[in-house]
Each structure stands twice: as C-alpha cells, then as structure tokens.
Structure 1
Amino acid sequence: MSNQPLSNLVPYTCFGCRSTYKRPFEKGVFYRKCPTCGGAALCMDIRFRPPKKLDDKQWKKVKYLVDHGFNFQKVYHKEGPIWHRERYPQNLEQAKEFVIKFKDQAYDFNII
C-alpha cells in the first residue's frame, strides 16, 4: 500500500469482528476479505466513522442501516425547491424511520 494517495483510501467494515480498515478504492469492489477475521468486509462511504467495538447499540444501528442499503452515502431530502443533505440517525429507533423515509435512496449491495 505504499505510495497510495490517502485520498484514494476508503473504509471497509467487517460486522463479524467489528473492524474497520482502509484500502485503495477499486471500482466495482464492494466486499473484501477482513484481515482480522477473514469474514466479508463491506465498502463504506468515506464519511463513515465506526462506533467503538463494545458499543453494541451503535453497531446494531449501523448493521440495520447497512442491511437496508445505507452505507453512510449522502442522503437528501427536499424542502420546497431546495435539496438538503440528511443527517444519519443517532439510534436504532430513528434508523427504522430513516430507512422507511429514504428507501428510494438505498443501495442493493447484492446487485452492485
């Protein structure tokens, strides 16, 4: 990974061992083998910040969002004629509402 510009690195998250690591972006590569446990790690948006390993509530929220097509990509809502970027939810209850409200902006990671 030497000589790789930092701007080309994206986070990959493994939900099996709750590890996040950065690797060079490769178009069409959405899963990589986790270097910690060997499980599947999903490519997350560059804005993703993982919770602490022992924060079960936040990991459940993140997993719920990812399972429903949100890897912390930009999500927008419209107020009148203007589009605004939506903030990601703080807890699982809010995440359930978020998924319903923005389902049209979700990714299908199985097709990508």
Structure 2
Amino acid sequence: MDRNTKKALRWDSGYRTKPIKPDKASFSSSKYSMAYACLDCKTSFQRSFPGAPCDYPLHGQCVSCGGVTYNLGRHFKAPKKSDIAQWKKVAYLVHHGFYFQKIRPIKNSYFSVSYPSTLAEAKVFVKKYKKHALI
C-alpha cells in the first residue's frame, strides 16, 4: 500500500485529521520593512506596519533607549555604532528633512541622486536639494 492510500485510510477512520489550511485573507503581511534609526543611541532596526508604506509613521519610539526613531526608508544602510562621523552626517541630514528618500531632480525620470558620504558633502547636498526635504 502506498503512502497516500494509508493517509486516506487514516483520515477516513478518524485516526488522523486533515490539516487545516489557513485562510490567506486572514494574514496581513506588509511588503516593505522600513529602517528606523535612533540618533541618540545609534541603533537601527527594521519595522513593518499594516497598510501602505506611505502611511507608515515618520517617527517612533526607540526600543533600546526610549528616544525618538526616524523612518529612514527601505534604502537606508546604518553605519556602525562606532562610526561617529557617519552618525553625525545622518543626524545632519535627518534634522534638515532628508530621510533617505529617493530624490529625483528631473521630474518623471528614473535617475536619482546618491546621498553624500561625508558631513561636508551633506552640507552642500542640503543647500542644493533643499526643495526636496520632507520637513
């Protein structure tokens, strides 16, 4: 007797119950996890919420220190905790309204601007693209 026949006999006799498949509509999973970063304790973590990514909160509470976390989007790569210069650059950009969103200087273009790698470059970047700031 093959395996499937044995299973069918067990199910019919009541010794084995058929597996219940979960209803796909009952599970709500979001497609995007956003990077949240705390500038006080220099931690970053991924969070996802139900609903569209544009409805995700821009601010939250840090799970480590209780400070403010910022939603820095899907493309943010956090620097090492020990890299103070990079965290200063991130803080400068965030405080000037740049939450690491895509900046497209040419409307309806695929081209996007890359973010600066140093604090000095960030200061020039903020002046040049201030109309693209979120706040």
CA contact (8 A) 1:4 1:24 kept: no
Structure 1 residues not aligned, in runs of 5+: none
For residues 73 and 32 of structure 2, the distance between their equivalents in structure 1, rounded to whole angstroms, comes to 12
Q: Secondary structure at the match of 1:7?
A: coil
Q: Which has the higher contact order (CA 8 A, sep 6+)?
A: 1
RMSD over aligned CA atoms reads 2.1
CA contact (8 A) 2:30 2:49 kept: no
Q: 1:37 to 1:4 in 2, by over 3 A?
A: farther
Please identify which structure carries the higher helix content.
Answer: 2
Runs of 4+ residues over 6 Å off in structure 1: none
Which residue among 53, 58, 68 is the counterpart of 2:81? 53
Please identify which structure carries the higher strand content.
Answer: 1
Tell me the TM-score normalised to structure 1 length: 0.82
For residues 61 and 93 of structure 1, the distance between their equivalents in structure 2, rounded to whole angstroms, comes to 8
Choose 1 or 2 for highest CA Rg. 2
Aligned length: 104
Q: Secondary structure at the match of 1:32?
A: strand
CA contact (8 A) 2:62 2:68 kept: yes
